[in-house]
Amino acid sequence: MKILAGYLKGVELKTPPKIRVTSSAVKKSVMDTIGKNINDKIFWDLCAGSGNMGIEAISRGARKSVFVETDRQCIDFIKLNCDRLNIINKTLILKEDIIKFVTDNIVLKELHDDVIIYVDPPFEKDYLITKMLDVIDKFENENNYFRMIIIETTKSYKLGKLEKFKAYSIKNYGEIKILFLIPNR
């Protein structure tokens, strides 16, 4: 798996075995849709797996990537790649549940700037998306942090009703669906 664009373009990332890695076509589509909006933003890579998306975000101009993952082996690979690429100072790597992370007011206060969220849970844990969106929908009322939420999930996933976000774009890649949500402001 390689970085597709930016100052790290062409760099090969090491990935943990037995995880589903976001394909290059999906990664390119996501990053092209975000475009220059990524510049100087904080990028949350939730259920980060290999850290592929957060590292790509840094390469394309994100100020910082926050990697949240529960699997120790995945965390070790994210740290390995970030150390090897000399970008560890642009990262926060947490071994934590994404719902706990999103609801933790201390972390939210520390990361009070413009945030782009990318979430890609294991397909059998799609319920995490709904729980996370419920929490964010409540926080958004008070904080206005979130500029975009990007969800990678199965084609069969049904987005529930949200009060403070709307679908900006939905793209399908075989059995994978990418949802782009933006605030209703």
The full length of the chain comes to 185
The average confidence (pLDDT) of the chain is: 85
* Alpha carbon separation from 7 to 49, 58, 60, 64 (Å, rounded): 22, 9, 7, 15
Assess contact for 132 and 146: CB atoms under 8 A: no
Quote the pTM value.
Answer: 0.89
pLDDT band at residue 1 using 50, 70 and 90 as cut-offs = confident
Q: How confident is the model at residue 142 (pLDDT cuts 50, 70, 90)?
A: low
Is the pLDDT confidence value at 185 over 60? yes
Answer CATH for 24-183 from 3.40.50.10490, 3.10.620.30, 3.40.50.150, 3.30.70.100: 3.40.50.150
Which residues lie below 8 Å from residue 115, measured CB to CB, with a gap of 6+? 41, 42, 43, 44, 145, 146, 147
